[in-house]
Every structure is written in structure tokens, then in C-alpha cells.
Amino acid sequence: MIRNDEPALRRIEIDPVEALRLLGTVSLGRIVFTRQALPTVRPVSHVLDGGDIVIRTHEGAALTAHAQQDSGEGVVVAYEADAIDPGTHLGWSVVVTGYARLVTDPADLARLRSLLVPWAPCEEMDHAVRIRPHMVTGVLLTDGTDSAPAVRTV
């Protein structure tokens, strides 16, 4: 329920370059992929590398198996990250749709392992998946009090 004394929230589209920049300011997001023909969502940590999103996975992960089996562009995935204040609902959200491929080059894999600490260290995260963005969208949620709202991480 919206109360009359609360400022109205505004939704402002963010261009793809700014959206990827914002995604690089946080380390945790959610990967969306299919498992047994159904959508699956997993929280993961990420790093941006040359415009791609890289996550770490383990040998038994469904995404690792899918990315390993694909010999073409990769498997289609979505990746979402945000920084939204739970009290005010102000902040931003970015969604990337693209192609995920398993990183197989040993030197590249070693470099990426040094850059990216898995969010769940309880499992052996010895694989990496590179997501090449195809479609990048983002929204800024603001209270409309600024004439040119500044994008800030929450």
C-alpha cells in the first residue's frame, strides 16, 4: 500500500555501459540457467573480466556440466545483481542475458581463480564459467527528489 506522505519511487533505465559498471561494484549476484528443462537460480560471486562476467563453480554443479557439454557459443543464462536498500527500496538492479562457457585454458583459469573468491567456500570451486553478455539492462530506483539522480551503491 502506498501512503500519500511517502515520496513516489521513479524507475529510470540505465544504459548498458553504466549497468555493467554498476555490476562491477558488487561481488554477489544470481545466475539463472535451466536444469532438467526448468529455470534454476543460484547465488554466486562474480568478477568482471574484459567485459565478461566470470563466476566459479565446482565439478558437480549443473551449470558446469551444461557449459562443459556445449561446443557452440555456450549455454544461454541470465545474471542479475543489485544494490537495493531494503528499507527505502532505492538503488539499482542489473540483468545480463548471455552465453556461458566453461573456462578451459589453464593459465586463464589460474588467473581467474586468483581474482575471484567463491561466495560459498565450503565446496571445491575449481572451475570457472565465463558469461559473454548479449543483452544488458538496468534500472535505477530513485525517490525523484533529485533532478539528476546520482547512482550509488547501497
Is residue 9 in a domain? Answer: no
pLDDT for the residue 37: 83
- Decide if pLDDT at 7 tops 90: no
Residue 91, sorted as left (phi over 0), alpha (psi -120 to 50) or beta, turns out to be: left
The range of the structural domain enclosing residue 111 comes to 15-142
Is residue 150 in a domain? Answer: no
The backbone torsions φ and ψ at residue 121, rounded to the nearest 5 degrees and listed phi first, read: -75, 0
Q: Is 18 helix (H, G, I), strand (E, B) or coil?
A: helix
- Decide if pLDDT at 152 tops 80: no
Q: pLDDT tens digit string along 104-150?
A: 898 998 888 888 877 666 556 678 899 999 999 999 999 877 543 44
Which tops the pLDDT comparison, 76 or 68?
76
This prediction has a pTM of: 0.81
The CATH number covering residue 70 comes to 2.30.110.10
Is residue 130 in a domain? Answer: yes
Is residue 108 in a domain? Answer: yes
Number of domains in the chain: 1
pLDDT for the residue 70: 55
Task: Kindly tell me the sign of the dihedral angle through the C-alpha atoms of 144, 18, 33, 91.
Answer: negative
Is residue 84 in a domain? Answer: yes
d(CA 122, CA 101): 23
Is residue 124 in a domain? Answer: yes
Is residue 149 in a domain? Answer: no
Which residues make beta-bridge pairs with 34? 39
Q: Is 107 helix (H, G, I), strand (E, B) or coil?
A: helix
Is residue 121 in a domain? Answer: yes
Which tops the pLDDT comparison, 98 or 116?
98
Provide the 10 A C-beta neighbour count for residue 125. Answer: 22
- Decide if pLDDT at 100 tops 80: yes
